[in-house]
Amino acid sequence: MDARKPSTEAPATALDVGLGMVALLVAMLVGYGWSLGFDLANAHNGLIAASFSAVGLYVVRMRPRHREGWLLVAVGVVHAVMFFGRQYGSTEPPLPGASWIGWIGVWPLPLAIALFGWTFMAFPQGDMLSPRWRRIGLAMYAVAALMAMTSALWPVDYARTGLVAPHPLDMPGSHVAAQVWGYLQPSYPLFQVLWTVAVVVRLRRARGDEARQMRWLVYAAVMAIVLLAMGLVVFGSPVPGLLALPLIPVAAGIAIQKFRLYDIDPVINKTLVIGSLVLVVTTGYVALVVGVGSLIPAGTGWLSLLATAVVAVAFEPLRRRAQILADRLVYGHRATPYEALSRLSAQLDEAPEELLNGIAATVANAVGATEVVVWVGEEARLLPQAGWPRPPEPSEPSRLGELDRGAHRHVRPVVHQGTVRGAITLRKPAGEAITPTEVRLLADLVAQTGLVIAQQQQAQELQAAARRIVTAQDAARRRIERDLHDGAQQRLVTTGLELGLLADQAQASGGPELAARVKEIRAQLLETTADLRELARGLHPMVLTQAGLDAALRMLADRSAIPVRLTVAIPGRLSREVEVTAYYIVSEALTNAARHSGADVVTVEVAKVVEGLRVGVSDDGCGGARQRDGSGLEGLADRVAAVGARLTIESPLGGGTRIRTVLPCA
Amino acid sequence: MRVIVADDAVLFREGMARILTEAGFEVTGQARNGAELIGFVRRDAPDVVITDLRMPPNFADEGIEAAAEIRSFAPNVGVMLLSQYVEVHHALRLMDEFDGAVGYLLKDRVSDLSAFAADVRRVAAGHVVIDQELVSRLVSRRRERDPLAELTDRERQVLALMAQGLTNAALSEELFVSVKTVEGYIRNVFTKLGLPPGEREHRRVLAVLQFLRQQ
């Protein structure tokens, strides 16, 4: 890691020279090592040295600040040194200085293993997952350092090496050292568990690019392990596994440099399918030929024929199963048709906007699409309404025929009762076609979508109708109030004025009885105008139109028969529709509370929040208010529904009444 | 005393002109809307304008808007606003924005000619007049913890009359007690309610109205 600093600050040429020298050093060590002969026990070091150095040097040449690149280089160099040391030290007859040079090939092993592991754990950026993982990695180094030191001072790790010269140091206490080594050596499998856990944790957490990079690495590592296992089992040789080792750095390099160019998922998918088929077919064939052959003494030719027939018959169903399994593993939780449909019906309860997004997600999940868009409208005017993984950008209306623009885009028109109601478009990963199963599933989902869209349109029409009714009703009330104000009320006031004049004249002309009579009529008239005033105010509160919701709610509080705790937090005026609805909610709730609840106090809270205007009225009365037929609360619920909101009424017996809603403000 | 009346209903306007003349006022103009009223005042400023609050073109609060403009160029003209409804927020605005010489009454009040004439004269003299319905609604407002419960009946009466804009002298006449006694009542009311003693009359009304509304 220390090499990184000077290199990033040095000019490019200096970096190139430095990298060239490292490459030359590794090439000399590995090349000279190979020339000394082939040693199966040491060959992996040479392969690691060559492949990791090559990939690492390529990465840092392109991206000098890439920490993972430098880690790869470090792994390569350390293994090159070890490879050379052991090759040199194992050569017969002993070469000059074989004791010391062979020693160099042995003792760094624990450190090399720790570095190898760290490189895995830090993939793809060269950083550990978290400070805690960093501490775990450092602990691993500490153990490795202790092991390396022991191995450097005493010949504790010499038995396996086949070095021709003895350990160069002859320190006392080799007995104790061997014991310590015996305790420390089980750390190796522990290290391996650590890397595996770190990689799995990162794989699970990773999203987007990082997830794709991780899949490259894990794919290569698993392939190498599988090849190693197969080689050992089938051929009894580690050579296939050894040859697969360079896969790992190459995959890492691809992931770091070109992960955007190739998507590994289809490769993993096909590998899993083919791998599992080969495994099953081979096992089946062997089981049949060997198993049946041992029971029935028949010609091997017949058995082979039988086995081939069985395998041939079983192949297609097996392939399908394997494909489903592979899909599951690679594309995450891709649903079976039943799962997809049941998930869709579970989403039917959700709000309309959410519902179409839910459909998009279900479709994506069901067929493993990378992008799904749900379009709604007529055949010639389709608008994107929902999408997965994200809602679509608003755009101009499109014709159905235009929707297949763009690569790998599949279009499914949504038809309900013979008319196009919308469409679903989806994109699959490059190189993946829609399978017959997916075609059927998609058809079912599209049919469901037709129902959903039709139902949604009906709901929208219904709401629009309710809104029109409420608006018309409000307009009528306003008009009647205005007519009263300019007509009847005005006339009555004028009549009162005339009566007042008449009373004064009667008084002046010496008719006190007549004057008293006129005054009495005037008093009756004033009562009438007062009644009319309240009636008109109830029809439509002018305060609301003139001064807004805040003033109108204060007026309601002034006139309430029960004390009101009023909190209003609204910035200026809102739309007439919202103001009127909020006003009637509070007005009706206060009236109800006064009539039925026996409450001591009513709390009214009206506030503008992100989702709209929050209106809440609660009292401490007897509760038990219900949306009875024809009651004020039912009318309120209808009114609130007309503006696209929902009225919540909680009124347990003896527990007060709480009426709440959030009115959407456009 | 010279007055101009403004109302969009011709019968009411002319009736009012007649009773005002009867009561000894000189009606120098009859306007149909706010703009016309402003024009009349510009030409020949009266002592008081009596205007409907809700007039063409929008039937909102044109009367107040016109009054505010009149006061900007003729600060000595008294303003009497009449309306079918009396609303607290209008009263608060009038007390806050107009420096006295302002009244706010239900239209019904014109049927008691002598009381109405007296109210118009009070406005002309620079005092304030607030409709008793509005005040009694606020005074009788239901409250969780009613601070008015601390007041005696007499103090409550004084509070209500004070909120209607009565001066100390008018209070003493209304209650048949001396001005000194009235001052004593008012001190008690203000102390009990924790209100700062207002110096100007309309400020005092504003403080009382605000207090009544908030509690």
Sign of CA dihedral A495, A498, A503, A506: negative
Q: What is the CATH number of the domain that holds A347?
A: 3.30.450.40
Q: Are the CB atoms for B142 and B152 separated by under 8 Å?
A: no
Q: B132 exposed, middle or buried (CB, 10 Å; 0-12, 13-18, 19+)?
A: middle
Indicate if A429 and A360 belong to the same structural domain: yes
Q: Given A516, A539, A562, which residue is the final one in a domain? A: A539
> What is the distance between the terminal CA atoms of chain B, rounded to a whole angstrom?
40
CB atoms within 10 A of CB B197: 11
In the DSSP assignment, the letter for residue A288 is I
Mark whether A126 and A97 lie in a shared domain. Answer: yes
**B22, B89, B143 ranked by CB distance to A554: nearest:** B89
In this predicted complex, what is the ipTM? Answer: 0.90
Looking at residues A565-582, what average pLDDT do you find? 92
Report pLDDT for A241: 82
Shortest distance, CA B11 to any CA of chain A (angstroms): 7
The topology (CATH level 3) of B135-214 is Arc Repressor Mutant, subunit A (1.10.10)
Give me the residue spans of the domains in chain B.
2-130, 135-214
Mean pLDDT calculated for residue range B131-146: 89
Same-domain pairing of A452 and A400: yes
For A522, name the nearest residue in chain B, comparing CA atoms only.
B111
Count of domains in chain A?
5
For residues A470-495, average pLDDT: 90
Residue A494 sits in the same domain as residue A351: no
Given CB atoms, is A485 within the 8 Å cutoff of chain B? Answer: yes
Residue A151 is inside which H or E element, if any? helix A131-153
What angle, 0 to 180 degrees and rounded to 10, lies between the N-to-C axes of helices A40-62 and A247-258?
10
| B 173-202 near A (Cβ less than 8 A) | none
Whether residue B142 and residue A529 make contact (CB cut-off 8 A), yes or no, is no
Give whole-number Cα distances, A656 to A373, A615, A622, B46, B95, in Å. 47, 17, 5, 58, 39
Confidence of residue B99 (pLDDT cuts 50, 70, 90): confident
> Chain A: nearest CA to B74, how far in angstroms?
26
Tell me whether residues A504 and B84 touch, CB distance under 8 A.
no
Given CB atoms, is B96 within the 8 Å cutoff of chain A?
Answer: no
- The pair of structure tokens assigned to A42 is 């040491």
Taking CB atoms and an 8 Å cutoff, what residues of chain B touch A490? 9, 11-12, 84
Residue B107 is predicted with a pLDDT of 94
Fold exhibited by the domain B2-130: Rossmann fold (3.40.50)
Cα separation of A148 and A105, whole Å?
Answer: 12
Q: Select from A166, A183, A204 the last residue of a domain.
A: A204
> What b/e sequence results for A310-329 when a residue is b if at least 16 CB atoms lie within 10 Å of its CB, and e otherwise?
ebeeeeeebeeebbeebbee
Q: What single string gives the DSSP state of each residue in A315-359? A: HHHHHHHHHHHHHHHHSSSPPPHHHHHHHHHHHTTS-HHHHHHHH
- The strand ranges marked E within A240-394 are 371-378, 381-388
CA-to-CA distance for A287 and B38, rounded, in angstroms? Answer: 110
Residue A1 predicted with pLDDT over 60: no
Residue A112 lies in a domain: yes
Q: Is A144 a domain residue?
A: yes
- B111 in contact with chain A, both atoms CB, cutoff 8 A: yes
8 Å CB contact of B107 and A493 = yes
How far is Cα A483 from Cα A487, in angstroms, rounded to an integer? 5
Tens-digit pLDDT profile for residues A419-440: 888 899 888 876 667 777 778 8
In a domain, A242, yes or no: no
Q: Which H/E stretch holds residue A644?
A: none
pLDDT computed for residue A261 by the predictor: 41
Task: Answer yes or no: do A499 and A589 share one domain.
Answer: no
Q: Are B4 and B31 in contact (CB under 8 A)?
A: yes
Tens-place pLDDT, residues B102-121? 999 999 999 999 999 999 99
Are the C-beta atoms of B83 and B107 separated by less than 8 Å?
A: yes
> Which one has a higher pLDDT value, A542 or B202?
A542
To the nearest whole Å, the CA of B145 is away from the closest chain A CA by 9
| pLDDT score of B35 | 95
Tell me the C-alpha to C-alpha distance, in Å, between residue A302 and each of A278, A294, A296, B94.
22, 14, 11, 112
Same structural domain, A114 and A158? yes
Q: Are residues A531 and A566 in the same domain?
A: no
Q: What is the pLDDT of residues A308-367, one digit of tens each?
A: 777 777 777 777 777 777 766 665 544 555 566 666 666 666 666 677 888 888 888 777
pLDDT at residue A446 is higher than 80: yes
- Residue A109 CA to residue A144 CA, distance in Å, equals 9
Please report residues of B whose CB lies closer than 8 A to that of A539.
Answer: none
Find out whether the peptide bond into A93 is cis, omega within 30 degrees of 0. yes
Q: Report the number of secondary-structure helices (H) and strands (E) in chain A.
A: 24, 9
Collapsing DSSP to helix, strand or coil, A619 comes out as strand
Min Cα–Cα distance to chain A from B144, Å = 5
Task: State which residues form the domain around A534.
Answer: 488-539
> Bigger pLDDT: B32 or A265?
B32
Nearest CA in chain A to B64: A546
* Per-residue model confidence as pLDDT tens digits over A51-110: 999 889 888 888 888 888 899 999 999 999 999 998 888 888 888 888 888 898 889 999
Question: A108 vs A402, which has greater pLDDT?
Answer: A108
Asked if B106 and B83 count as a contact pair (C-beta separation under 8 A), the reply is yes
pTM above 0.80, yes or no: no
